[in-house]
Chains A and B, each alone.
Chain A
Amino acid sequence: MHKLAEPTMRRETRLADRSEAIAFVVMLVFVAAAPFFAYPLFLMQVLCFALFACAFNLLIGYVGLLSFGHALYFGWASYVSAHAAKVWGLTPELAILAGTVAAAVLGLLAGSLAIRRQGIYFAMITLALAQMMFFFALQVKFTGGEDGIQAVPRGRLFGLIDLADTMTMYVVVVAIFLAGFLFIHRVIHSPFGEVLKAIRENEARAISLGYKTDRYKLVAFVLSATLVGVAGATKAIVLQLASLTDVNWPMSGEVVLMTLVGGLGTIFGPVVGAFVILTMQYKLAPVGEWVLVIQGVIFVACVLLFRRGIVGEIAARLRIRL
């Protein structure tokens, strides 16, 4: 049986390490140059979604767990951080922290339920729990129901730096994204990450070797939810908006699509995927409902013909690790 993420072929470890470093530098150059070519607001959105997809990929790509409910952490983190910034008047870094903590707690609760079942059930449970919290968001007062939380103040970072200026905000978002990205990279290459990959390849074997796989899975789940929370909370500050779109199930599907297009189980794939999908949505906005159809077609095409995704395909062709 094919695994979800096929390990890409490796010719030489040193070359592989270098290829990741080179790709990272390329990404840095791109991030630094991009605001001169595209709308910074759009780019900040891309970076938030890229972090969202990277955190999602930590689960599916490295533990083999498909969560179909990651909108839960993204949406609720963005509600909490928007509320913290607007109603409690917290500074942006504390608002983002509040959203992140909320996502971590929700991840712990949902994760400890979901890991009680494997495979396909895991996906259905995460989806159902996310839908439950969607209805909850619809009913609770503080989320603002259909209106969402609008006009969230960006405030002053550490009470000092005014984030109303777009370029300042961009630098902050880049810093948050890179911190999250490097953290995920570190986790994947740590001994803990090696155990996660062992669980992905053969959970029964990992159990027989004495690993308490449920605990590893739960920690991975909470890590993923927490990082998704960082992305969601940051997004609320950047776009100054938290809405039902962010907690609803199509958002969970979108992050799956981004990761699939970029390449499951690749480090740079989700970033590329987020960029490609958001660009597509932006360019295709005039054709309305057809966006949904096109996304569906991409899903089908990726599963049937293009399972490695963009980055996975490049890595396999060049026999490097990305």
Chain B
Amino acid sequence: MFEIFGIPSQALFGQLLIGLINGSFYALLSLGLAVIFGMLNIINFSHGAQYMMGAFAAYLLLAHTGLNYWFALVLAPLVVGAFGIAVERLLLRWIYRLDHLYGLLLTFGLALIIEGVTRNYYGSAGLPYAMPEALRGGQNLGFMFLPNYRAWVIVASLTVCLATWFVIERTRLGAYLRAATENPTLVNAFGINVPMMITLTYGFGVALAAFAGVMAAPIYNVSPQMGSELIIVVFAVVVIGGMGSILGAILTGFGLGVIEGLTKVFFPEASNTVIFVIMAIVLLVRPAGLFGRRV
């Protein structure tokens, strides 16, 4: 035990860890938003609701079928991703020709529907979700106590983020995707099924949100409004980072999580608002965002 700037190391590193955890959710969600925006030109307002659906899917799988956390980690993104695909096919594809803002309004309506239905059946109090057996307990690192589950969340989300970056920036599939983002008509003329790619991209982005939701379930309570508050912070993260760069989105997400964690230690009153304040400063200094092009 020692002190840094008069703060016990346990408290400082503890908050830093929570910051990294929040940062992993910011990174996963802003990554999904950026991928979807790149292909569909839609800001997916229902992203938070779909994150919440992931957490609820994990809860329901455990409660009704007895399938544990590890099954949920695979099944929930698949189920919610399939829901996303249905949404894209049935609703979103009618509005691609319209102004971007209609996409925001439509997905906002969708978020209200999803949140309203869940709240109606499960109330707004949170439901507890037990931590998986294998990840209980933790390691004593000397300067701090590291719970196993938290370490797992950080490693898992970092892996998923980097894998996504690799697929998009370094593989043939990713090259098609980037090309279709630039010029869908031309890529379509080359014989690549662009509408199918758009559908799958949306499904994938939504699945990422659900994956984050499953990982969040044992940390926070599973509740209908868990997504709506998070998504607004993620919007600020996206404004700060800009949506042009995948690595930028990941970096901004983790970085802002850490800053938020540190604020909890040094100036707790501002911890709710620090990300918004940073957004305001970035807008003043670099209006296009840290990694963005002028849009």
Contacts and interface: CB of A to CB of B under 8 A. Distances in A.
A2 B273 contact: no
Interface string B209-253: 000000000000000000010001101101100000000000000
A154 to B, nearest CB: 33
B100 interface: yes
Contacts of A68: 104
B106 to A, nearest CB: 4
| Interface of A, helix, strand, loop or mixed by DSSP | helix
Interface string A64-86: 10101000000000000000000
Interface in A8-52: none
Given A124-B43, A292-B116, A297-B109, A129 B276 contact: yes
Interface string B179-211: 000000000000000000000000000000000
Given A121-B239, A289-B119, A116 B283 contact: yes
A117 interface: yes
Contacts of B105: 66, 256, 260, 299, 302-303
A2 B120 contact: no
B63 interface: no
A296 B110 contact: yes
Contact of B116 (A2, A116, A129, A289): A289
Contacts of B108: 253, 256, 299
Contacts of A281: none
Nearest to A123: B104
A141 interface: no
Contacts of B295: 117-119, 121
Interface in A252-294: 253, 256, 260, 288-293
A297 B228 CA distance: 17
B283 A124 contact: no
Given A117-B295, A300-B106, A303-B105, A128 B239 contact: yes
A120 interface: yes
B119 A119 contact: no
| Interface of B, helix, strand, loop or mixed by DSSP | helix
B101 A4 contact: yes
B273 to A, nearest CB: 5
Q: How large is the interface on A (under 10, 10 to 19, 20 to 34, 35 or more residues)?
A: 35 or more
A127 B232 contact: yes
Interface stretch (A132-140, A158-166, A190-198): A132-140
A118 to B, nearest CB: 7
Contacts, number: 133
Nearest to A2: B98
A124 B97 contact: no
Residue among A118, A132, A249, A302 with the most chain B CB within 10 A? A132
Contacts of A116: 283-284, 287
Contacts of A293: 112-113, 116-117, 120
Nearest to A124: B235
A288 B120 contact: yes
Interface residues of B, number: 45
Given A113-B283, A304-B95, A292 B104 contact: no
Contacts of B37: 120
B62 interface: no
Contacts of B100: 119-120
A132 to B, nearest CB: 4
Contacts of A129: 276, 279-280
Contacts of B175: none
A298 interface: yes
Contacts of B176: none
A303 B102 contact: yes
B101 to A, nearest CB: 5
A277 to B, nearest CB: 13
Contacts of A235: none
A289 B295 CA distance: 38
Nearest to A303: B106
Given A1-B98, A116-B287, A303-B102, A124 B236 contact: yes
Interface in A104-120: 113, 116-120
Residue among B119, B269, B276 with the most chain A CB within 10 A? B276
A129 B104 CA distance: 17
A125 interface: yes
B272 to A, nearest CB: 4
Contacts of B113: 292-293, 296-297, 300
The 3 lowest CB-CB distance pairs between A and B, nearest first, are: A299-B109, A296-B112, A292-B116
Given A295-B112, A304-B91, 19 more contacts: A4-B102, A117-B283, A117-B287, A119-B100, A124-B43, A124-B238, A127-B235, A128-B276, A136-B273, A138-B272, A249-B232, A288-B120, A289-B119, A289-B120, A292-B112, A293-B112, A296-B109, A297-B109, A304-B94
29 contacts: A2-B98, A66-B105, A68-B104, A117-B287, A120-B43, A120-B100, A120-B104, A123-B43, A124-B235, A124-B236, A125-B283, A128-B279, A129-B276, A131-B236, A135-B272, A139-B269, A256-B105, A260-B105, A295-B112, A295-B116, A296-B114, A296-B116, A299-B106, A299-B108, A299-B109, A299-B110, A300-B91, A303-B105, A303-B109
